[in-house]
Amino acid sequence: MPRMDQAPPSQSLIKQLLIGDGRIGKTHYAAEAAKHFNVLYINGDANTVATLRKQPVEVLRNIYAINVGDTVMGGLRDSKFIDFMQEFTTNIKVRWNDTEERVANRADTGEIWEITPSRMDHTCLLVLDSWTALVDSIMLQAARANNVILETASTHDMRPVYQSAGLKATSILQCIKALRCHVLVLAHPDEYEHKTAPEGRAVKDIKEKDLIVDWTKMIPKSTSKPHGMQIGRFFTDVGWMELSPAGTERRINFKAKNDRIAGGHFAECKSTTEYSFANLVTEVGGDVMAKPAPIDSWFNLIPALAPGETPVEAAPKVLDGIKPTGIAGLTGLGKKAAAA
Q: What is the DSSP string of 30-99?
A: HHHGGGTSEEEEEE--TTHHHHHHTS-HHHHTTEEEEE----EETTEE--HHHHHHHHHHH-SSEEEETT
Q: pLDDT by residue (tens digit) across 261-294? A: 999 999 999 999 999 999 999 999 999 988 878 8
Question: 12-335 in CATH: which number?
Answer: 3.40.50.300
CB-based burial of residue 302 (10 Å sphere; 0-12 exposed, 13-18 middle, 19+ buried)? buried
Alpha carbon distance 247, 314 (integer Å): 52
Q: How many helices (H) and strands (E) would you count in the chain? A: 9, 16
- C-alpha separations of 14 from 81, 125, 211, 278 in Å: 24, 9, 40, 10
pLDDT of 6 reads 55
pLDDT above 90 as % of the chain? 66
Residue 304 neighbours by CB under 8 Å, 6+ apart: 99, 109, 110, 111, 314
pLDDT of 315 reads 47
- C-alpha separations of 159 from 206, 245, 306 in Å: 19, 41, 50
pLDDT of 323 reads 45
Q: pLDDT by residue (tens digit) across 197-227? A: 887 776 666 777 778 888 999 999 999 999 9
Alpha carbon distance 130, 205 (integer Å): 39
Block mean pLDDT (10 aa), the chain, length 340: 58 95 94 95 86 88 93 88 96 93 90 95 96 97 94 92 97 96 98 85 72 92 96 97 94 95 96 98 92 87 78 49 37 35
pLDDT of 337 reads 32
Residue 285 neighbours by CB under 8 Å, 6+ apart: 7, 9, 12
pLDDT of 18 reads 98
pLDDT of 73 reads 79
How many degrees, rounded to 5, is the angle at CA 169 between CA 167 and CA 170? 65
DSSP bridge partners of 42: 66, 128
pLDDT of 331 reads 42
